[in-house]
């Protein structure tokens, strides 16, 4: 057997009454890619945060390279050769790549010599690991895939032999994810050890050597990846058999509930991102929009939801026009029956400093049922939040907990519960299962199908092509701001991929 790079022995960690990690024993072989999977809230990120020094275990031992290691801070972890790439990047947006890489690791007070030394080392790392990125580019101007490379370079620059990646593909396009996996395999070939935390089981099967499954704070199984299956891992994660395919009857579309005509939308730089787009969504159907991120899907959703104004064109909600070119007014749209699950739950969907019950009514807090005269009815809000927590299996089931303390998947459920439970006429959903585990994905998919079957019109945007194909009754493909084709749910991945790349443009929507 390969020598262990990391050993975790009897690790326990509690946060008040929540026992996040329970007697965890885990061994990661040197020079391997080791996956860790589990439901949202299973304790994966807590365990890795202990290994990286963000948290200290209540009991247990960490061994690095066979020797006991005292890791009380991230500096201790870095000194032990451990680096971490977080799900939400730790970069200074208005710094260059080079400045971000050396931040906190300057060789001396003379920055010019630090920068010169770092530039040479950065070029070496880029060549060795295929991590090419312009060292003088501002981070805020880089696409998210390149920002992730900067995080990896930061860790390697600090001498990391063990690299932890937390949900690394949650914000990547399929092509960017494939490139990341090539980089990880190259790191492994160079003798580095990679720990990959992800909820995407197909990625685990594609790139890891070994996988450990966590459930309710414990490691319930470790498998050689070549000797397991997606079905087995899903069942180990959830504790029951999981339906990995969406079951649904054929749609029975009714009247048009959302009509978009000749819509043109520009971004903050004045670049046209949505160019003369037209389509309809009917009651009782899910219309999916496929496309590589950055082709106008986000701006389209924002214009429909009243977050971003359009330059021209029209949107009709239940036959009545929306003012898309005037000042943004999402509150007015909510009153008219349009619910919106935004793509970015942290910046648009939630206020992380608020309690769960506060976020569960955010945007709907003016409704009479949540008020007692001029004040909010706290008891009614808490009762409503508890009901949503039970319906949507939000964990932990505590409506008074700060939303920042929920896992990403449970934060997503808070947003979905808030919007879906308003009984909207039209539901606009962006990336419904981003950062969500396999059990929660199954649940969310069932809820979306139930909304469709209840006669709601659902507009879905997702970078997950499997999700678009599984849920949609009709698929529209966007490329370069335009809808370049419409296909049925039986369209192949290859056919949709060609349209997404702008290679084939047939059956275009008028």
Q: In terms of Cα–Cα distance, which of 239, 224, 218, 241 is closest to 35?
A: 224
Report how far apart, in Å, the C-alpha atoms of 263 and of each of 48, 259, 375, 412, 436 are.
45, 10, 40, 29, 32
Percent of the chain clearing pLDDT 90 (strictly above)? 61
Quickly state the pLDDT bin for 506 (edges 50, 70, 90). very low
Mean pLDDT over residues 359-374, rounded? 94
pLDDT of residue 279: 98
202 and 143 part of one domain: yes
Q: Is the pLDDT of residue 2 over 90?
A: no
Mean pLDDT over residues 470-499, rounded? 92
Per-residue model confidence as pLDDT tens digits over 375-399 = 999 999 999 999 999 999 898 899 9
What CATH number should be reported for the domain holding residue 450?
3.40.50.300
Q: Is the pLDDT of residue 263 over 60?
A: yes
255 and 313 part of one domain: yes
Quickly state the pLDDT bin for 286 (edges 50, 70, 90). very high
Question: Higher confidence at residue 494 or residue 75?
Answer: 75
Q: Is the pLDDT of residue 508 over 60?
A: no
What letter does residue 157 receive in the DSSP assignment? Answer: H
Find the distance separating the first CA and the last CA of the chain, reported in whole Å: 61
151 and 64 part of one domain: yes
Q: Is the pLDDT of residue 361 over 50?
A: yes
d(CA 491, CA 229): 26
pLDDT of residue 466: 85
130 and 96 part of one domain: yes
Per-residue model confidence as pLDDT tens digits over 451-473 = 999 999 999 999 888 899 999 99
pLDDT of residue 108: 54
The answer to whether position 344 is within a domain reads no
Relative to beta strand 59-64, strand 4-15 is: antiparallel
Total domain count for the chain?
A: 3
Q: Is the pLDDT of residue 505 over 60?
A: no
End position of a domain, from candidates 208, 238, 268: 238
Per-residue model confidence as pLDDT tens digits over 13-40 = 998 888 999 999 999 999 999 999 987 7
Q: Is the peptide bond before 396 cis (omega within 30 degrees of 0)?
A: yes
The answer to whether position 38 is within a domain reads yes
100 and 211 part of one domain: yes
Burial of 309 from C-beta contacts in 10 A (0-12 / 13-18 / 19+) = middle
Quickly state the pLDDT bin for 336 (edges 50, 70, 90). very high
Question: 186-190, 446-450, 495-499 — which is least confidently predicted?
Answer: 495-499
Question: 172-176, 247-251, 285-289, 406-410 — which is least confidently predicted?
Answer: 172-176
And the tokens for 500? 């997404």
Q: Is the pLDDT of residue 261 over 50?
A: yes
End position of a domain, from candidates 238, 262, 279: 238
Q: What is the 3-state secondary structure (H, E, C) of 246-277?
A: CCCCCCCCCCEEEEEEEEEEECCCCCEEEEEE
215 and 130 part of one domain: yes
Q: Is the pLDDT of residue 1 over 60?
A: no
Q: Which residues, including other chains, have CB under 8 Å from residue 35's CB and lie 6 or more apart?
A: 195, 196, 197, 198, 204, 207, 208, 210, 211, 212, 225
Question: Higher confidence at residue 173 or residue 357?
Answer: 357
pLDDT of residue 116: 80
Q: Residue 268 sits in which domain range?
A: 243-337+424-510
Per-residue model confidence as pLDDT tens digits over 89-142 = 788 988 999 988 888 776 555 566 667 888 888 888 888 887 888 999 999 888
Per-residue model confidence as pLDDT tens digits over 77-91 = 999 999 998 877 788
Residue pointed to by tokens 């949709």: 496
pLDDT of residue 510: 38
> Are the beta carbons of 358 and 376 closer than 8 angstroms?
no
Burial of 372 from C-beta contacts in 10 A (0-12 / 13-18 / 19+) = exposed
For the question of whether the overall pTM of this predicted structure is more than 0.85, the answer is: no
pLDDT of residue 104: 77
Q: Which residues, including other chains, have CB under 8 Å from residue 174's CB and lie 6 or more apart?
A: 292, 463, 465
Relative to beta strand 426-430, strand 457-461 is: parallel
Q: 17 has which bridge partners?
A: none
Per-residue model confidence as pLDDT tens digits over 146-183 = 888 898 998 998 889 999 998 887 667 667 778 889 98
Tally of CB atoms within 10 A around 28: 24
pLDDT of residue 494: 81
d(CA 397, CA 358): 14
320 and 371 part of one domain: no
Which residue intervals of 36-134 are DSSP H helices? 44-51, 74-79, 97-102, 111-129
Per-residue model confidence as pLDDT tens digits over 397-414 = 999 999 998 887 889 999
106 and 176 part of one domain: yes
> Are the beta carbons of 181 and 207 closer than 8 angstroms?
yes
221 and 92 part of one domain: yes
The answer to whether position 343 is within a domain reads no
The answer to whether position 18 is within a domain reads yes
């Amino acid at each position: 057997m390969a020598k262990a790079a990391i050993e975790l022995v009897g690790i326990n960690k509690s946060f008040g009454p929540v026992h996040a990690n329970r007697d965890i024993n885990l061994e990661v072989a040197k020079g391997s890619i080791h996956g860790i999977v589990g439901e949202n809230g299973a304790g994966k990120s807590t365990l890795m945060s202990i290994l990286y020094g963000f948290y200290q275990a209540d009991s247990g031992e960490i061994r690095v390279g066979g020797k006991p290691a005292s890791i009380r801070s991230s500096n201790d972890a870095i000194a032990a050769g451990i680096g971490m790439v977080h799900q939400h990047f730790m970069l200074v947006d208005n710094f260059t790549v080079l400045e971000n890489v050396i931040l906190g690791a300057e060789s001396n007070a003379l920055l010019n010599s630090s920068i010169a030394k770092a530039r040479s080392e950065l070029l070496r790392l880029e060549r060795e690991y295929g991590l090419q990125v312009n060292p003088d580019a501002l981070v805020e101007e880089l696409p998210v895939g390149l920002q992730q490379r900067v995080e990896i370079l930061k860790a390697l620059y600090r001498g990391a032999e063990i690299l932890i990646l937390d949900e690394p593909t949650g914000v990547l396009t399929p092509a960017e994810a494939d490139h990341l996996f090539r980089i990880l395999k190259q790191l492994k070939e160079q003798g580095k050890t990679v720990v990959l935390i992800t909820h995407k089981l197909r990625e685990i099967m594609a790139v890891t050597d070994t996988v450990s499954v966590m459930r309710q704070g414990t490691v319930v199984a470790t498998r050689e990846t070549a000797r397991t299956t997606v079905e087995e891992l899903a069942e180990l994660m959830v504790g029951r058999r999981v339906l990995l395919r969406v079951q649904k009857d054929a749609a029975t579309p009714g009247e048009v509930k959302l009509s978009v005509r000749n819509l043109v939308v520009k971004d903050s730089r004045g670049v046209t991102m949505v160019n003369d787009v037209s389509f309809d969504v009917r009651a009782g159907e899910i219309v999916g929009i496929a496309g590589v991120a950055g082709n106008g899907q986000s701006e389209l959703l924002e214009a429909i939801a009243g977050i971003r104004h359009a330059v021209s064109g029209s949107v009709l909600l239940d036959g009545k026009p929306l003012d898309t070119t005037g000042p943004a007014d999402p509150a007015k749209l909510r009153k008219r029956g349009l619910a919106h699950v935004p793509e970015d739950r942290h910046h648009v969907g939630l206020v992380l400093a608020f309690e769960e019950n506060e976020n569960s009514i955010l945007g709907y807090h003016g409704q009479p049922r949540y008020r007692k005269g001029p004040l909010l009815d706290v008891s009614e809000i808490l009762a409503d939040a508890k009901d949503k927590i039970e319906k949507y299996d939000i964990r932990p089931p505590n409506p008074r907990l700060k939303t920042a303390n929920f896992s990403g998947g449970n934060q997503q459920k808070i947003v979905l519960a808030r919007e879906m439970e308003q009984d909207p006429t039209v539901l606009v959903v962006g990336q419904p299962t981003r950062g969500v585990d396999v059990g929660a994905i199954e649940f969310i998919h069932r809820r979306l199908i139930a909304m469709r079957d209840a006669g709601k019109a659902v507009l879905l945007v997702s970078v997950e092509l499997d999700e678009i194909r599984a849920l949609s009754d009709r698929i529209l493909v966007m490329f370069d701001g335009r809808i370049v084709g419409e296909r049925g749910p039986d369209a192949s991945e290859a056919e949709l991929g060609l349209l997404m790349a702008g290679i084939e443009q047939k059956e275009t929507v008028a």
